[in-house]
């Protein structure tokens, strides 16, 4: 449909949805606090498995069919360069009206970056903010998602809109176990909604860079470092040479960044080390830049491998492609901005180097807005906080988006058609 309506105008269904969302503020807060009390660090499989049934039960409140699906193991390179298999928590998948003419995919994650016992307390820090693990990123966002859907089910034109929800246990480590679930659901959808936290001032993410991670495993030759060091070939020396080459790539191409995260390996100081693992990251704003970045890393590695007695192999790559602005994203962002004006929000969209499941959804060919969760800040640190009032505020906003996608004021199929 052509854009002939004012998306900021509120009809009776919109007003009922907003009134309903406002009444759910206290219940939403109680839910978030309960979920935050369970540690779900990405490598804490027990905690993830403990919380998953509670989230699944909350998802069932929408009326959707909910599955708890075991995810495949994640390959993890240890400090010796060996591959370990890590079995994470389950993926939660919920489906509602899969045959409806308009389909959306809603995504989020219930893992956090915090290991057990590292950050546990929830503290009122004033100005309507609570500090605590995962409140913003993103147990608050999952709560917003569920309440928005419940509100829509109560007040929207539900027969026109179906959806699939994918909640993952491994977003903070790259969605390596859950990427297939995300992409399969996204391919069937016209539009995606992801509930990462908005920024403290309410701004949302626009374009996102893509992200690559490489574990580079170097092998050398051990020898006694005192008696016959000349017979050894230091894997750590090779890894450090590679690290310097990677760092030298910073600033070579606009928008592309590199970072050496760590070097593992070696043993006693009287032994020439025969193993080392170099962990490298890169961010790139578009597919061409991502290809360039990967090529530069491989070229640098080829130069290091000219060193006698050194071999290497790599694990990884650009696991999340870039999510640039295009015609579909611009149309969707514009519709969301206009909708938000109806509740007095003047949303700003800021491009960011961060990545999230919105990258995965975009890579599957589906335009999406990926910061529809609570307002918050200082995520990935013990200073993480959530703006409490944003629970009902953002649930109301998402309910309005669902109303508009269902009744055609936002044209989901036309938005997705702009991806081609």
- Model confidence over 310-342: pLDDT tens digits? 999 999 999 999 999 999 999 999 999 999 999
% of the chain residues with pLDDT over 70: 99
Sign of CA dihedral 388, 390, 391, 393: positive
**With bands split at pLDDT 50, 70 and 90, how would you rate the model's confidence at 420?**
confident
Q: Calculate the CA 174 to chain-centre distance.
A: 8
309 shares its domain with 376: no
Angle of helix 390-407 versus helix 12-23 axis, rounded to 10: 150
- Cα-based angle 338, 182, 171 (whole degrees, multiple of 5): 90
Residue 93 lies in a domain: yes
Quick check: pTM over 0.75?
A: yes
220 and 288 fall within a common domain? yes
**Counted domains in the chain:** 2
- Tell me the pLDDT of the chain averaged across its residues: 97
Residue 111 lies in a domain: yes
Cis-peptide into 138, omega within 30 deg: yes
Question: Residue 186 pLDDT > 50, yes or no?
Answer: yes
**CATH number of the domain that residue 178 is part of:** 3.40.630.10
pLDDT reading at 201 higher than 80: yes
Residue 6 lies in a domain: no
> Cα torsion for 9, 14, 16, 20, to the nearest 10°?
-120
What pLDDT does 64 receive?
98
Q: At 364, which helix (H) or strand (E)?
A: none
Going by DSSP bridges, is the β-strand pair 275-284/257-265 parallel, antiparallel, or unpaired?
antiparallel
What pLDDT is recorded for position 2? 44
User: What is the DSSP-derived secondary structure letter of residue 100?
Assistant: S
Position 3 in a domain: no
Q: If DSSP codes are grouped into helix, strand and coil, which group holds residue 298?
A: helix
Tokens 């969605």 belong to: 175
Do 72 and 201 lie in a common domain? yes
Q: Does 150 map to a domain?
A: yes
The CA R_g of the chain, rounded to the nearest whole Å, is: 23
Q: How high is the pLDDT of residue 78? A: 94
Q: What is the pLDDT of residues 333-370, one digit of tens each?
A: 999 999 999 999 999 999 999 999 999 999 999 999 99
Same domain, 401 and 278: no
> pLDDT (tens digit, 9 = 90+) per residue, 228-278?
999 999 999 999 999 999 999 999 999 999 999 999 999 999 999 999 999
Residue 315: what are its φ and ψ, rounded to 5°?
Answer: -135, 120
Extract the tokens encoding 307.
Answer: 């060193």
347 found inside a domain: yes
**How many whole angstroms separate alpha carbon 123 and alpha carbon 277?**
39
Please give the residue range of the domain that contains residue 215.
Answer: 210-320
Statement: residue 4 has pLDDT above 80? no
If one counts every other C-beta atom within 10 angstroms of the C-beta of residue 227, the result is 9
Domain shared by 186 and 124, yes or no: yes
Direct distance between the N- and C-terminal alpha carbons of the chain, in angstroms, rounded to an integer: 18
Q: List the one residue out of 116, 125, 169, 175 whose CA is nearest residue 384.
A: 125
Q: Are residues 263 and 341 in the same domain?
A: no
∠ CA(143), CA(149), CA(155), 5° rounding? 135
Quote the tokens at residue 258: 């590199």
């Amino acid at each position: 449909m052509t854009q002939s309506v004012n998306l900021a105008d509120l009809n009776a269904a919109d007003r009922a949805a907003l009134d309903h969302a406002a009444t759910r503020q206290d219940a939403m807060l109680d839910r978030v606090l309960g979920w935050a009390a369970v540690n779900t660090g990405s490598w804490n499989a027990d905690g993830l498995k403990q919380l998953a049934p509670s989230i699944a039960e909350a998802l069932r409140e929408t009326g959707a069919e909910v599955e708890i699906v075991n995810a495949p193991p994640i390959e993890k390179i240890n400090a010796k360069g060996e591959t370990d298999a890590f079995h994470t928590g389950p993926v939660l998948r919920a489906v509602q009206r899969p045959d409806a003419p308009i389909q959306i995919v809603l995504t989020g994650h219930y893992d956090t970056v915090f290991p057990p016992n590292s950050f546990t307390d929830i503290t009122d820090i004033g100005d309507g903010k609570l500090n605590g693990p995962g409140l913003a990123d993103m147990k608050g966002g999952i709560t917003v998602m569920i309440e928005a859907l419940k509100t829509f089910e109560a007040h929207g034109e539900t027969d026109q809109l179906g959806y699939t929800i994918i909640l993952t246990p491994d977003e903070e480590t790259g969605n390596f176990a859950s990427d297939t679930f995300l992409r399969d659901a996204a391919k069937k959808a016209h539009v995606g909604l992801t509930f990462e936290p908005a920024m403290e001032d309410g701004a949302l993410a626009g374009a996102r860079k893509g992200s690559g991670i490489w574990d580079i495993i170097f092998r050398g030759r051990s020898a006694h470092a005192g008696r016959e060091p000349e017979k050894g070939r230091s894997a750590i020396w090779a890894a450090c040479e590679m690290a310097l080459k990677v760092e030298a790539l910073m600033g070579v191409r606009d928008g592309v960044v590199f970072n050496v995260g760590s070097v593992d390996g070696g043993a006693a100081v009287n032994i020439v080390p025969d193993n080392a693992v170099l962990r490298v990251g890169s961010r790139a704003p578009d597919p061409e830049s991502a290809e360039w970045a990967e090529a530069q890393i491989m070229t640098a590695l080829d130069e290091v491998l000219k060193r006698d007695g050194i071999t290497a192999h790599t694990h990884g790559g650009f696991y999340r492609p870039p999510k640039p602005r295009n015609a579909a994203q611009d149309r969707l962002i514009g519709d969301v901005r206009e909708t938000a004006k109806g509740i007095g929000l003047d949303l700003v969209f800021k491009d960011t180097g961060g990545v999230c499941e919105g990258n995965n959804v975009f890579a599957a060919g589906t335009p999406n807005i990926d910061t529809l969760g609570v307002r918050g800040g200082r995520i990935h640190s013990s200073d993480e906080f959530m703006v409490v009032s944003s629970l009902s505020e953002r649930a109301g906003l998402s309910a309005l988006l669902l109303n508009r996608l269902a009744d055609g004021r936002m044209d989901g199929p036309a938005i997705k058609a702009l991806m081609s």
